Amino acid sequence: MAADHNAFITEETIEGDADAEGPLADATVAVKDNISTEGIRTTCGSEMLADYVPPYSATVVDRLTEAGATIVGKTNMDEFGMGTTTETSAFGPTKNPVDPERVPGGSSGGSAAAVAAGEADVALGSDTGGSVRCPAAFCGVVGIKPTYGLVSRYGLVAYANSLEQIGPIAGTVEEAAAALDAIAGPDPHDGTTRDLSEVEGADPDASYAAAADGDVDGLTVGVPTELFEGADERVVETVEAAIADLEAQGAETTEISLPSVEHAVQAYYVIAMAEASSNLARFDGVRYGSRAESDGNWNESFAETREEGFGAEVKRRILLGTYALSAGYHDKYYKKAQDARAWVRRDFEDAFADVDVIASPTMPVLPFELGESLDDPLRMYLADANTTPVNLANLPAISVPAGEADGLPVGLQLVGPKFDEETVIRAASAVEDR
Amino acid sequence: MSDTSDSTDDAGEAPDGGDDAAAAVDAEEVRHVADLARVRLDDDEVAAFADQFGDILDYFEALDEVPETEREEELVNVMRPDEVEAGLSQEEALSNAEETEDGFFVGPKVS
């Protein structure tokens, strides 16, 4: 039995279709605890939903079990996905299997830790501002953030709808890609999913697993200076060595500039907090969720329920989001953040006129020590500098292990044009082949 | 939330007028926003949040440098025929409620 990393909140099984064939037949899958599982509690890492048992499963869960995978449990996470370390969970922090003194990253830390510790073949996370790629990087595994609209969010408990996608985490690029093959595709229950046969330039018959062929001959890799500036020297060296290996395999690298990304973290947090303040208004203790014992009226009862049910980081984001949307501040924060989002998107579009993928460190830092960043929220937010631009631009990205620095894993992030998952998967598989 | 009667309230003083760069937040403002968001806070939380919000909002100030950018969204409406489909049963819909009565949710008293 492996050491307990507190990767799971609930260990229960949903059997996969025994007759299914394909790469996921008999695979074990761990599912982040903000993805609904019929009959199995889904807590979002929150006291608020500690006893919540969904009456239906998320589309992605059904697709995995239909492909033959067995769900083995629900993984620990930052409360409602709000964090970069998995320390804001009401169920205690998850430890990084590589070094149990360190965080696994977040918010899908339990998912990455379960894969890294061999407790599941594959895991699902959700990525709102880096929550799949960050823990993949910190735990030394692979994580994919799909293009917005590729994977159904039906059954994902919403935090910031316009930014988030469910994505797979696995030990290899090919395994993660095979899981993406299973979960991708339009869903009538999620009106933001796209049918690739109707998307210009996309390949509706794409096999993501088959794209993991390691062939980067002639591929152009853009290296944006902005995403290396300010990063830990040890991270930069490790990532540059991995990019040099891509060159040795026939890829061409070229320096590019994405000036807008200097504002990505600010824009991301304003938009995510604003959407969170609206999404989390539903937790009032009436239809689901815990309810405080209260003698007060309607509003007092709600306020007491939410005081008890939410942890500090969730309260912080709800309040800041409410502030940013309120009269007198909306134009200053929210409108400006939307301008920044459009600017980031245009910057990436311009860059992809010249390059096939964009490479950078996934995280500008090595995994934090447990407790190190918990009392300094701004410091935690700044660690998302390289991952948040991708969500703002709705693009696909992957984090693949680039090597180690001081014995700790370093992730290389590869970003591609919209719905061109195949190219980032191909490039990542070459990094892995070194 | 069902009561939205004062959700459009001002969250405090409008930011224009003074051009003091520091976005200082006082305890009163934190309490006001918490009230709008229906989150009760104890005094320690109010004090900690006032400090942290000052730092975070200071950092958000850099958004002022962002140029106005045209947003070309290629959005289309997603429609489906208006036909009855299977949904949750009443029992399933009520299964996670703290309190129910005769097939209804029971909420807190209104006043």
Is the residue at A422 inside a domain?
yes
Res B2 pLDDT > 60: no
Per-residue model confidence (pLDDT) at position A360: 98
Res B16 pLDDT > 50: no
With CB atoms and an 8 Å threshold, state whether A343 touches B66. Answer: yes
Per-residue model confidence (pLDDT) at position B78: 86
Per-residue model confidence (pLDDT) at position A280: 98
Spatial distance between the Cα atoms of B27 and B49, rounded to a whole number of angstroms: 8
Is the residue at A314 inside a domain?
no
State whether residue B14 sits within 8 Å of chain A by CB: yes
B interface mutation test: which of A305, A320, A344, A394 has the most B CBs within 10 A?
A320
- DSSP annotation of B68 reads P
A interface mutation test: which of B65, B96, B99 has the most A CBs within 10 A?
B96
Non-local (6+) Cβ contacts of A211 within 8 A are A177, A421, A422, A423, A425, A426, A429
Q: How confident is the model at residue A433 (pLDDT cuts 50, 70, 90)?
A: confident
CB-CB neighbors (< 8 A) of A324 in chain B: 60
C-alpha distance from A17 to closest chain B C-alpha (Å):
23
Q: How confident is the model at residue B111 (pLDDT cuts 50, 70, 90)?
A: confident
Res B5 pLDDT > 60: no
What's the half-sphere exposure (Cβ side, CA atoms, 13 Å) at A220? 12
Question: What average pLDDT does the segment A280-290 reach?
Answer: 97
Per-residue model confidence (pLDDT) at position A315: 98
Non-local (6+) Cβ contacts of B77 within 8 A are none
CB-CB neighbors (< 8 A) of B37 in chain A: 277, 281, 306, 318-319, 322
Is the residue at A315 inside a domain?
no
Question: What average pLDDT does the segment A360-383 reach?
Answer: 94
Question: What average pLDDT does the segment B47-69 reach?
Answer: 95
AA identity, residue A416: G
Number of domains in chain A: 1
Is the residue at A285 inside a domain?
no
CB A333 within 8 A of CB B60: yes
Is the residue at A179 inside a domain?
yes
Mean pLDDT, rounded, of chain A = 97
Per-residue model confidence (pLDDT) at position B14: 44
Please give the backbone phi and psi of residue B99, each rounded to the nearest 5 degrees, phi first: -145, 130
Res A180 pLDDT > 90: yes
Domain boundaries of chain B, sorted by first residue: 9-81
% of chain A beyond a pLDDT of 70: 100
Question: What average pLDDT does the segment A284-302 reach?
Answer: 94
Res B21 pLDDT > 60: no
Per-residue model confidence (pLDDT) at position B17: 37
Ranges of H-type helices in A193-293: 233-248, 264-279
CB A110 within 8 A of CB A141: no
CATH of the domain at A74: 3.90.1300.10
Res A24 pLDDT > 80: yes
Res A375 pLDDT > 90: no
Provide the domain limits for residue A38. 8-261+342-432
Strands A252-256 and A220-224: parallel
Instruction: Pick left, alpha or beta for residue B3 (phi over 0 → left; psi -120 to 50 → alpha; otherwise beta).
Output: beta
Q: How far is CA A191 from CA A146, A186, A373, in A?
A: 16, 8, 37
Question: What average pLDDT does the segment A271-280 reach?
Answer: 98
- DSSP annotation of A262 reads G
Spatial distance between the Cα atoms of A98 and A108, rounded to a whole number of angstroms: 16
